[in-house]
Structure 1
């Protein structure tokens, strides 16, 4: 699938993605890219975040690949569970990086309204990238989310939350998973043809 036909929609997590975050770098690098902007990055409300994602998808009729991080992954899962069919059809796939386990005992209070986590399979191909030392979700939890959401999972070793704090400003290696997702999307399209 030529990238000129695809819109890449960046879905940041809690606190947004600052200019030195890999999502911001990818937005500057990928053609036809945009970002979901939330009204409140510090005290997120699930309904508001899902509505903003819905509006961003509705605003452009192009086929879209979602690139989500942390709480953004959870937002995508909630959106996919309740989105109108015509908007679900615009999303070709999702790259879900370091999903936040909002049900964990030490989950920060502002994120708890995103629980319970959706258990429904997403109706589009997805790749979930987790870490074996992510404070926001254990490797086992990330794998369970991948099963629940119907995503292909990869657990990386020692990469933390895959954010600026863990040394992932540009995260060029992540493009390999984006490419893998695009191959998965193309294969699914060929099977349906």
Structure 2
């Protein structure tokens, strides 16, 4: 007769903590000892196919129109365990107050150790949220912030100006491009200085989106890890 297992345990995989609670019949056991596990190739299948309750460590926040299947945010959600998208009710006609309220709800659910990985207009929403919230987070990776004050900014988006210029109350990294059509390098540098952020110039990478050809963007993952691990390099 097949053996019935009940598993309830916590562990770390690539420096991210998980809690597993599941039932199974033909479960291949995974061995844990002082944070070390065996058979890594079985672990990913284990996480993907069982009822796994994991701690959310990263919240992605897409910009106007959301992020498509080839965007680095979407790919991170697929390959980095514990990553969840902040889903907004309106992607094409965003209202800043509504976006801020949804960020607040998702952060409340995730807890104070979470890191937000925001792109484009969501960077501005995060700055607004930071001015209003009483909650804390571990940090935010703010990629290609869209200059909502520039001429030609989409009229469908409302409430994002004036853009906050006070220091953000958590660790941040602003990543910008030299040829971003939605924000000049000077403005991105100004945002970073105003928000107290570390600034990373990525070179000529456009709006640092799917069209930039970054794929899973390993360099961005390293920046994210600095925030998740709270490394002193900041």
Normalised TM-score (structure 2): 0.73
User: How much does 1:150 deviate?
Assistant: 0.7
C-alpha distance in 1 between matches for 2:202 and 2:211:
16
Equivalent residues of 2:165, 2:194 under 8 A apart: yes
2:232 partner SS: helix
Larger radius of gyration: 2
Could you tell me which residue of structure 2 aligns to residue 65 of structure 1? 115
1:114 partner SS: coil
**1:2 counterpart (15, 24, 27):** 15
Could you tell me which residue of structure 2 aligns to residue 33 of structure 1? 83
Deviations 1:30-74 (A, max 9, x none): 121111000010000000000010011112336101100001111
Equivalent residues of 2:59, 2:84 under 8 A apart: yes
Matches within 5 A, 1:10-29: 10-29=60-79
The answer to which structure has the higher strand fraction is 2
Which of 112-121 and 169-178 deviates more? 169-178
Deviations 1:135-161 (A, max 9, x none): 111111000000111100011211000
Could you tell me which residue of structure 2 aligns to residue 176 of structure 1? 222
Root-mean-square deviation (Å): 1.9
Instruction: Note the residue ranges of structure 1 that are not aligned, 5 or more in a row.
Output: 189-193
C-alpha distance in 1 between matches for 2:196 and 2:209:
24
2:107 partner SS: helix
C-alpha distance in 1 between matches for 2:173 and 2:129:
17
Matches within 5 A, 1:74-153: 74-84=124-134, 87-88=135-136, 91-153=137-199
The answer to which structure has the higher helix fraction is 1
C-alpha distance in 1 between matches for 2:112 and 2:194:
27
Instruction: Note the residue ranges of structure 2 that are not aligned, 5 or more in a row.
Output: 1-13, 18-54
Could you tell me which residue of structure 2 aligns to residue 187 of structure 1? 232
